[in-house]
Amino acid sequence: MQCSECRGDVTAFEVPADLREFAPGDAATICTQCLTVSAANPANAQSADEVRFEDIVESFPPGTAGVRMALVVGMLSSLALNRSNIETVVEDLAADGVDAMLILEDLENEGSLQPRVAIGRRRKQLEQLME
């Protein structure tokens, strides 16, 4: 499958029921090039345990934590509208031992990515909001 924004490859994943309020649908995709997160057809989605999120950047967590991180990345496009949802998901990641800010920094520094959102700027804004 290809990204509608940049024609890069996308990874489709199922969104667990408890995370659907933060997702664009029951399944979503994340572009491995521009990091755009979009709704997907559930029939084309893999379970969280099958998805290789680490192919995006090595520090990206696997499984449900990877789904959470992908949803955070997707919500960064509108930090003002998604602030409380982002904070909730980032706190859940922290409870699972995942440092979302470190992963965002890794995404920012990965030279092969071309994010549609200024990851570094959003990360800094998010850090300020969460202090």
**Is residue 123 assigned to a domain?**
yes
pLDDT at position 91 is 95
pLDDT at position 14 is 97
**Is residue 2 assigned to a domain?**
no
The DSSP call for residue 51 is: -
Total domains in the chain come to 1
pLDDT at position 87 is 95
H or E segment at 46? none
Does the structure show a pLDDT above 80 at 131?
A: no
**Is residue 1 assigned to a domain?**
no
pTM for the model stands at: 0.94
The domain in which residue 36 lies consists of: 10-129
3 state SS for 73-119: HHHHHHHHHHHHHHHHHHHHHHHCCCCHHHHHHHHHHCCCCCCCCCH
**Is residue 108 assigned to a domain?**
yes
- Cα gap 39→29, rounded to integer Å: 6
CA nearest to 75, candidates 124, 23, 15: 23
Please compute the mean of the pLDDT values over residues 49-68 and round it to a whole number. 95
**Is residue 48 assigned to a domain?**
yes
**Is residue 3 assigned to a domain?**
no
Angle between helices 79-95 and 100-109 (to 10 degrees): 120
**Is residue 104 assigned to a domain?**
yes
pLDDT at position 102 is 96
